[in-house]
């Protein structure tokens, strides 16, 4: 299989699996236990926390909270900020957020909050002027993603952070597609909350984290035990935590080398597809993007049929967010960028990783254009 859906999830690195293994079989003590067997797990968890703190440039280990993944981290940050400002009833976010933020905001809108949806340009860049125009003392929180999960377009988080800091408004960043794909130093950016998830950078599923700047309010979603300094009840996922820290260290230790290699292969894939498939175009190509992602519109095909046929010939790709698989609605991201429903439904996302090879890209460039020609011919016959 040629796996080109790394924004949905990634292969667990062999080195990560190896470091996790003992915590399933030998060192399985509960970190909350007082005896030595449990306290050995506690020390390992805190070492992993310290590793992630350093890799993200956080000032203190206390700023890192372990969660079950990106969705929980996003909810913990957003709901904490709102509960700390009960008199403020406006939330500002973008029209192209991941469903874990978008759907939560829609739910909060039904509960009485006013949601301000900031638009994007046809190239996918956020409307900063609109963001500035709506910021006032009635806004409880700004929640903006760092890298779009469908197009890879990067938002100017440093600029937004400065704007929100001056207005003294809480700022949450969905960094789930950015952590592990960008060099991040949180000590230099006034972010209040940053969400991340291990399975996006070759760690295990079911473990993520939230950076919460010291002083940023945090109200637990779950009550029970006193884990995570009373901020997240529930027995710690020790193997997952160890795996998350190891995965992030691996990817950041080789960041320059791997990002250059991935970008080169991504660009080769894009250029080859655009050259061989008439009328196709890449969404967000004019903007800064994470190095592994391309979102290409291919008029004359239905993405759902195309993806099934790709799977049949051994290529894994997607039409957008993995959380929306099976949904009939075309991408809300592409429609926010001005694409019609028809063109949005003719778009596919291809996302690479450090395990993607040049041979796989060459094979994809041989198979995909042939499949597009076949589907377009069939489409004309059906018409």
Total domains, the chain? 2
In terms of domains, do 237 and 155 share one?
yes
Percent of the chain scoring above 70 in pLDDT: 97
CA of residue 153 relative to chain centroid, distance: 12
In terms of domains, do 220 and 309 share one?
no
- The whole-number pLDDT of residue 381 equals 53
State the residue range of the domain holding 140: 14-253
Q: What angle separates helix 70-84 from helix 99-110, to the nearest 10 degrees?
A: 40
In terms of domains, do 260 and 225 share one?
no
In sequence order, what are the residues at sequence separation of 6 or more whose Cβ sits closer than 8 angstroms to the Cβ of residue 344?
A: 297, 330, 331, 334, 335
Selection from 257, 261, 218, 228 nearest residue 84 by Cα: 218
Q: What is the largest CA-CA distance in the chain?
A: 72
In terms of domains, do 245 and 106 share one?
yes
Interval 38-58: pLDDT, tens: 999 999 999 999 999 999 999
In terms of domains, do 203 and 345 share one?
no
Interval 101-122: pLDDT, tens: 999 999 999 999 999 999 999 9
Query: What CATH number is associated with residue 306?
Result: 3.90.1150.10
Question: Which of 194, 222, 253 is a domain's end point?
Answer: 253
**Does this model's pTM top 0.75?**
yes
In terms of domains, do 239 and 270 share one?
no
Interval 282-331: pLDDT, tens: 999 999 999 999 999 999 999 999 999 999 999 999 986 555 555 557 89
Question: Which of 237, 253, 269 is a domain's end point?
Answer: 253
In terms of domains, do 176 and 259 share one?
no
Interval 19-43: pLDDT, tens: 999 999 999 999 998 899 899 999 9
Alpha carbon distance 241, 64 (integer Å)? 11
Considering the candidates 115, 130, 316, 323, report the single residue annotated as catalytic.
Answer: 323
Question: Which of 253, 278, 299 is a domain's end point?
Answer: 253
In terms of domains, do 245 and 301 share one?
no
Q: Which stretches of the chain are assigned E, i.e. beta strand?
A: 2-3, 64-67, 90-94, 114-118, 139-145, 170-174, 193-197, 208-212, 281-282, 293-297, 315-316, 347-351
Q: Is residue 105 flagged as an active site residue?
A: no
In terms of domains, do 291 and 227 share one?
no
Query: What CATH number is associated with residue 181?
Result: 3.40.640.10
- The whole-number pLDDT of residue 277 equals 97
What are phi and psi for residue 6, nearest 5 degrees? -75, -10
Alpha carbon distance 102, 361 (integer Å)? 33
In terms of domains, do 236 and 274 share one?
no
* The pLDDT of residue 264 is above 70: yes
At 212, the pLDDT band (50, 70, 90 cuts) reads: very high
In terms of domains, do 313 and 361 share one?
yes
């Amino acid at each position: 299989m040629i796996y080109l859906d790394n924004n949905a999830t990634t292969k667990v690195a062999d080195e990560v699996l190896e470091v996790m293994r003992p915590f399933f079989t030998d060192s399985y003590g509960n970190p909350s236990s007082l005896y030595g067997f449990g306290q050995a797990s506690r020390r390992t968890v805190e070492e992993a926390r310290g590793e992630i703190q350093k890799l993200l440039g956080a000032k203190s280990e206390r700023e890192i909270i372990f969660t079950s993944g990106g969705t929980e981290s996003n909810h913990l940050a957003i709901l904490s900020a709102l509960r700390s400002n009960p008199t403020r009833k406006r939330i500002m976010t973008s029209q192209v957020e991941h469903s874990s933020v978008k759907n939560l905001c829609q739910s909060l809108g039904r509960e009485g909050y006013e949601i301000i949806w900031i638009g994007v340009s046809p190239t996918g860049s956020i409307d900063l002027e609109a963001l500035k125009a709506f910021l006032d003392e009635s806004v409880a929180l700004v929640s903006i993603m760092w890298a779009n999960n469908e197009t890879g377009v990067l938002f100017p988080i440093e600029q937004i952070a400065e704007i929100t800091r001056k207005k003294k408004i809480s700022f949450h960043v969905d960094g789930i597609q950015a952590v592990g794909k960008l060099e991040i130093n949180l000590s230099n950016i006034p972010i209040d909350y940053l969400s991340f998830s291990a399975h996006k950078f070759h760690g295990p599923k079911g473990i993520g984290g939230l950076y919460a700047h010291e002083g940023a309010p945090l109200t637990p979603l779950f009550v029970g035990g006193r884990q995570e300094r009373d901020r997240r009840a529930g027995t710690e996922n020790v193997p997952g935590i160890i795996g998350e820290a190891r995965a992030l260290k691996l990817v950041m230790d080789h960041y320059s080398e791997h990002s250059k290699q991935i970008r080169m292969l991504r660009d080769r894939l894009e250029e080859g597809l655009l050259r061989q498939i008439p009328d196709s175009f890449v969404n967000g190509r004019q903007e800064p993007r994470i190095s592994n992602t391309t979102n290409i519109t291919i008029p004359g095909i239905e993405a759902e049929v195309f993806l099934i046929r790709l799977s049949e010939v051994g290529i894994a790709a997607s039409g957008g967010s993995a959380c929306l698989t099976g949904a009939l609605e075309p991408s809300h991201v592409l429609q926010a960028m001005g694409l019609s429903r028809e063109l949005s439904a003719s778009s596919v996302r291809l996302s690479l990783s450090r395990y993607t090879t040049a041979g796989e890209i060459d094979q994809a460039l041989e198979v995909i254009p042939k499949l597009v020609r076949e589907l377009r011919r069939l489409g004309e016959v059906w018409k």
